[in-house]
Amino acid sequence: MWRAEIDGAQQGRTQASLGTIAEAFEIPAPVEAIAPYGRGLINDTFRVEAGGTRYVLQRINGAVFPDPLRIMSNIQALDRQARQHPDLGFQVPALIATRAGDVGLRAPDGNVWRLMTLIEDAVNLPRIETPEQAREVGRLLGRFHTLLQSLPADALGVTLPGFHDTPAYLARFLSVLERIEGARTDPAVATCVRFAIDRQALARRLADARNRGEIPVRVIHGDPKIDNILFDRDSGRALALIDLDTLQPGLILHDIGDCLRSCCNHSGESADGRTQVAFDLAVAETILHAYAEQTRDWLSPEEIALIPEAIRLMPFELGLRFLTDHLDGDRYFKVAEPGENLRKAGIQFALVTDIEGKAADIKAMVSRCFQTP
């Protein structure tokens, strides 16, 4: 059961200080330092130092995640699975209980907080710059999927209903588009709008294969982009996938496509216009080859055959979400300035265009990576 453990604190985060929240968890008091941490677009994240140890404190965005307790339960299931397979060397940030023994904290203002261990001597990479880094990404994602492929999908709860439901994202886009007068002809958005409308059929490719029973539902990370991969500061080895809020049943192809979308576009999700948006085939093949070494024994032929479609679909899906949020007043993704979501949508759609131009090369690449050694 969640508990409000900040006695005497008044409503709101300004009154219930971050230090008071952190000290409600089972860590040494007093807290020595708190600072913003990471670049997440959904949750508020802080690094906490107490008793010479560093932790990660997060406010779970209740407007996005309807059942925070389910998130914690899924993370605990992942942790148990990792402990049963130490040979895979997969690290999971441990959840710290509150002083009352609960897995999370509900503050008087209704916000839900969690505290986790921070994986020390680990860093994020802004981009993939070497073949070895690419191989590490593929190995890590492959080990992660191998770790969880024996876990029944229904053993985990759905934390974010509708996540990666591309047909639903498309339907919402079309609904918002009809509601916003003049959106189809507005020069600022018309190019992106036309792009999305012209590729409506793409939205159903993986969903239709799932509905026909051609590909299975498995446990997935949901968001294995480059920002969510931790590397050892000294050795460069990939240590862990973080940001586990979307750990839930889904299609493994969404993970593969999203990882490649993120790692193989050197201009990133927030390109400034000085770097051409392009899908790096060399990086993609290095990642996918390392991934295949971990997964080719159990990944189905049907899933492998749809990897090229997943590579094309995931930037389209993300671009569609950015575009819809722009049209709807930036309600979902945090933005630093007006128009940011529209610019990000354009970047993702440019990536789709480049991927489409390399379709034959991508198909051949997938065949090479998954051929029997």
Query: Domain holding 340: CATH number?
Result: 3.90.1200.10
* Predicted pLDDT at 16: 40
- pTM listed for this prediction: 0.89
Q: Are residues 210 and 321 in the same domain?
A: yes
Cα–Cα distance measured from residue 356 to residue 215, given in angstroms and rounded to the nearest whole number: 23
Q: Are residues 357 and 265 in the same domain?
A: yes
Q: Considering the domain boundaries, does residue 143 fall inside one?
A: yes
CB 23 within 8 A of CB 6: no
* Predicted pLDDT at 69: 85
Mean predicted lDDT score pLDDT of the chain = 89
For residue 169, which of 41, 337, 315 has the smallest C-alpha distance?
315
For 49-77, how does the pLDDT look when each residue is reduced to its tens digit (9 = 90+)? 999 999 999 988 877 888 888 999 999 99
Give the pair of three-digit tokens for residue 92: 């999971």
Is the peptide bond prior to 30 cis by the omega test (within 30 degrees of 0)?
A: yes
Give the pair of three-digit tokens for residue 282: 């060399």
* Predicted pLDDT at 346: 95
Q: Has residue 2 got a pLDDT over 70?
A: no
Give the pair of three-digit tokens for residue 100: 């009352």
Average pLDDT on 24-35 reads 91
Cα–Cα distance measured from residue 335 to residue 269, given in angstroms and rounded to the nearest whole number: 13
Name the pLDDT band for 40 (thresholds 50, 70, 90). Answer: low
For 240-252, how does the pLDDT look when each residue is reduced to its tens digit (9 = 90+)? 999 899 999 999 9
Q: Considering the domain boundaries, does residue 5 fall inside one?
A: no
* Predicted pLDDT at 275: 59
Q: Considering the domain boundaries, does residue 55 fall inside one?
A: yes
- With 0-12 / 13-18 / 19 or more C-beta atoms within 10 angstroms meaning exposed / middle / buried, residue 3 is middle
* Predicted pLDDT at 41: 59
Cα–Cα distance measured from residue 304 to residue 307, given in angstroms and rounded to the nearest whole number: 5
Rg (CA), the chain: 21
Which is more confident, 63 or 20? 20
Q: Are residues 157 and 239 in the same domain?
A: yes
For 284-320, how does the pLDDT look when each residue is reduced to its tens digit (9 = 90+)? 999 999 999 999 999 999 999 999 999 999 999 999 9
Give the pair of three-digit tokens for residue 311: 């590579």
For 334-347, how does the pLDDT look when each residue is reduced to its tens digit (9 = 90+)? 788 999 999 999 99
Q: Are residues 74 and 52 in the same domain?
A: yes
Q: Are residues 66 and 140 in the same domain?
A: no
Q: Please tell me the total count of domains within the chain.
A: 2
* Predicted pLDDT at 193: 96
Residue 153, SS3? helix
Residue 314, SS3? helix
CA distances from 89 to 81, 92, 126 (A): 12, 10, 23
* Predicted pLDDT at 335: 83
Cα–Cα distance measured from residue 73 to residue 283, given in angstroms and rounded to the nearest whole number: 35
For 169-192, how does the pLDDT look when each residue is reduced to its tens digit (9 = 90+)? 999 999 999 998 888 888 889 999
DSSP per-residue letters across 197-229: HHTGGGGGHHHHHHHTTSS--EEE-S---GGGE
For residue 103, which of 113, 117, 88, 111 has the smallest C-alpha distance?
113
* Predicted pLDDT at 91: 85
Q: Considering the domain boundaries, does residue 107 fall inside one?
A: yes
Q: 131-148 and 252-263 helices cross at what angle (nearest 10)?
A: 160
Q: Are residues 87 and 184 in the same domain?
A: no
Place of tokens 């480059």: 226
Q: Has residue 221 got a pLDDT over 90?
A: yes
* Predicted pLDDT at 303: 98
Cα–Cα distance measured from residue 198 to residue 120, given in angstroms and rounded to the nearest whole number: 46
The pair phi, psi for residue 296, each rounded to 5°, is -65, -20
Q: Which residue range forms the structural domain that includes residue 28?
A: 18-118
Q: Considering the domain boundaries, does residue 11 fall inside one?
A: no
* Predicted pLDDT at 186: 86
* Predicted pLDDT at 271: 55
Count, residues in the chain: 373
For 89-142, how does the pLDDT look when each residue is reduced to its tens digit (9 = 90+)? 888 888 999 999 999 998 887 888 999 999 888 998 989 999 999 999 999 999
* Predicted pLDDT at 331: 84
CB 302 within 8 A of CB 214: yes
* Predicted pLDDT at 1: 27
Cα–Cα distance measured from residue 2 to residue 112, given in angstroms and rounded to the nearest whole number: 9
Q: Considering the domain boundaries, does residue 7 fall inside one?
A: no
Q: Considering the domain boundaries, does residue 2 fall inside one?
A: no
Q: Has residue 270 got a pLDDT over 80?
A: no
Q: Has residue 273 got a pLDDT over 60?
A: no
For residue 316, which of 360, 354, 272, 263 has the smallest C-alpha distance?
354
Q: Given 60, 90, 118, which residue is the final one in a domain? A: 118
The domain that contains 67 carries what CATH number? Answer: 3.30.200.20
Number of H helices, E strands in the chain: 12, 11
Q: Has residue 14 got a pLDDT over 80?
A: no
For residue 317, which of 273, 370, 255, 366 has the smallest C-alpha distance?
255
Cα–Cα distance measured from residue 36 to residue 335, given in angstroms and rounded to the nearest whole number: 17
